[in-house]
Amino acid sequence: MSMWEEASLIDFSVDPDLMEIWDQGRARFFLASPRGVDVVEGPDGTRLAMTSSAGLEYDPEVYLYLGQVGRVPRFACLGEGDHSLREVMTQLPEAEVELALRGVALAQYHASHPYCSQCGHLTRAGNLGRTRLCDSCGTVHFPRTDPAIIVAITDEDDSLLLGHHEGWEEGRYSIFAGFVEAGESLEQALCREVGEEVDVAVTDIRYQGSQPWPMPRSLMLGFTASAVRKEPCPDGEEIVSARWFSREELRRAIENGDVVLPISASIAYRLITAWYGEPLPAS
């Protein structure tokens, strides 16, 4: 059973009258860039800075269709969305988090794929911004997504293994993640990553849920796994320290400021919270 709702809050269907709706000013868009999105602060908190399509000509190279929310078409407009997605994810309503993730992912895709990988000619946006088309050779290019596993590992006492990455701020700990390599299954990638990073062998691998993570273009696939407790051996390159935490030990470490957890909107945080069994103290 997944720990997340299976249905999206976005309706991805395309209204046959979409361009008429655009021309009538009933479509809405927000600025998005490969770096982030544009937001505003209001009485309802932080929201995406939505603008009406009224008086604007639709340009498929600029306006990328994301879907409908409440029967209102939503687009990402390629521009200066300068609020970091990582920073605002915890502040936006859930439906707008979905829109922001999709908008940034498409912005990154279009910015990084101007040329056809088959023949080298320039491409253009197609399918309302969901693809890029090469008029020279006819190839249709779809956005690339890199699968990555992320796993919460527990021992026979139900303690959780957390690690500190070399590039993180002091005190930040999380569960373990890594990209799936060519020819690997998800389970093989999980076992390899955990073995490489902390020299721990895992069993009882169970899928829990997924999350798009367009930083830059990942799909995080979340798992839980079991391990016989042993002293972790960090590789010293990616993971520089790792330790097992009981629930009480983790709570005290967070309250004392010794441990900072991932942002609450991340799949890492959700997997940790699912193990903890109740809301975690603020870190």
Q: Which residues on neighbouring strands pair with residue 124, listed in sequence order?
A: 133
Which tokens go with 32? 């998005």
- Checking if the pLDDT of 281 tops 70, the result is yes
Find all residues with CB under 8 Å of 42, minimum gap 6, and list them. none
Q: Rounded distance, CA 192 to CA 81, Å? A: 37
Q: Rounded distance, CA 202 to CA 204, Å? A: 7
Please tell me the class of the 146-276 domain: alpha beta
- Checking if the pLDDT of 2 tops 80, the result is no
User: Which stretch of 1-10, 127-136, 176-185 has the lowest confidence by average pLDDT?
Assistant: 1-10
- Checking if the pLDDT of 3 tops 50, the result is no
> Which pLDDT score is estimated for 82?
80
Find all residues with CB under 8 Å of 281, minimum gap 6, and list them. 251, 254, 255
Find out whether 250 and 160 touch, Cβ atoms under 8 Å: yes
Q: What is the 3-state secondary structure (H, E, C) of the chain?
A: CCCCCCCCCCECCCCCCHHHHHHCCCCEEEEECCCEECEEEECCEEEECCEECCCCCCCCCCEEEEEEECCEEEEEEECCCCEEHHHHCCCCCHHHHHHHHHHHHHHHHHHHCCECCCCCCECEEEHHHCEEECCCCCCEECCCCEEEEEEEEECCCCCEEEEEECCCCCCECECEEEECCCCCCHHHHHHHHHHHHHCCCCEEEEEEEEEEECCCCEEEEEEEEECCCCCCCCCCCCEEEEEEECHHHHHHHHHCCCCECCCCCCHHHHHHHHHHCCCCCCC
Q: How confident is the model at residue 282 (pLDDT cuts 50, 70, 90)?
A: confident
First to last CA, the chain: 29
**Range 138-165 average pLDDT:** 97
Q: Per-residue pLDDT tens for 69-85?
A: 999 999 999 998 889 99
Position 203, amino acid: T
CATH number of the 1-112 domain: 3.90.79
Q: Rounded distance, CA 168 to CA 173, Å? A: 8
> Which pLDDT score is estimated for 6?
62
Q: Hey, CA dihedral for 98, 101, 107, 111, is it positive or negative?
A: negative
Q: Per-residue pLDDT tens for 182-219?
A: 999 999 999 999 999 999 999 999 999 999 999 888 99
Length of the chain: 283
- Checking if the pLDDT of 224 tops 70, the result is yes
Question: How many other CB atoms are found less than 10 A from the CB of residue 281?
Answer: 13
**Range 250-273 average pLDDT:** 95
CA distances 191 to 16, 121, 179, 185, 194, Å, are 47, 41, 12, 10, 5
- Checking if the pLDDT of 1 tops 60, the result is no
Residue extent(s) of CATH 3.90.79.10 domains in the chain: 146-276
Which tokens go with 132? 């890029």
Which tokens go with 155? 């021992």
Q: How confident is the model at residue 120 (pLDDT cuts 50, 70, 90)?
A: very high
CA distances 48 to 22, 106, 119, 147, Å, are 19, 16, 38, 27
> Which pLDDT score is estimated for 283?
73
